[in-house]
């Protein structure tokens, strides 16, 4: 646990999609606000690195000492569904699992709830 950690969330997607300008703005905000770790759960199609907004943004963040995690994608399982594979991004995935991991979630203002952080469905 990290008792002095602060959570910062940036919305980069809306009903009409995930725009490169929003992704770039969020990465820029993480640098300005002193974020130490980025967890990005946005995927897309695999393109050349010099055209990939996530790859370029993650490189800049990593160059400034920010550790970047990204999901492998949301379209699996299947061939050619893994994204975010640049060497400066730690790519993570989850698969079906056969157990729950309940944990207390602090909602603030002295409110707490018990939630399962992983379920038997796709995570």
From first to last of its 123 residues, what are the pLDDT tens digits of the chain?
677 777 788 888 888 888 889 989 999 999 899 888 888 887 667 778 888 888 899 999 999 999 888 877 666 666 666 777 788 888 877 666 666 667 776 767 777 766 655 444 443
Q: Can you give the pLDDT at residue 5?
A: 76
The answer to whether 67 and 38 are in contact (CB under 8 A) is yes
- The three-state secondary structure class of 89 is coil
List, in sequence order, every residue forming a beta bridge with 17; answer none if it has no partner: 14
The H or E element containing residue 59 is helix 53-63
pLDDT on residue 9: 86
Give the pLDDT confidence score for residue 115 in this predicted structure: 60
3-state secondary structure of 52: coil
In angstroms, rounded to a whole number, what is the distance separating the alpha carbons of residues 100 and 111?
22
């Amino acid at each position: 646990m990290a008792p002095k950690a602060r959570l910062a969330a940036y919305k980069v997607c809306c009903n009409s999609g995930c725009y490169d300008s929003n992704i770039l703005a969020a990465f820029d905000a993480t640098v300005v606000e002193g974020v130490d770790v980025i967890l990005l759960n946005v995927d897309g199609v695999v393109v050349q690195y010099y055209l990939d907004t996530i790859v370029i943004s993650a490189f800049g963040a990593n160059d400034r000492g920010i550790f970047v995690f990204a999901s492998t994608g949301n379209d699996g399982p299947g061939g050619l569904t893994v994204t975010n594979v640049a060497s400066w991004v730690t790519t993570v995935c989850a698969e079906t699992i056969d157990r729950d991991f309940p944990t207390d979630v602090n909602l603030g203002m002295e409110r707490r709830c018990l939630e399962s952080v992983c379920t038997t469905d796709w995570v």
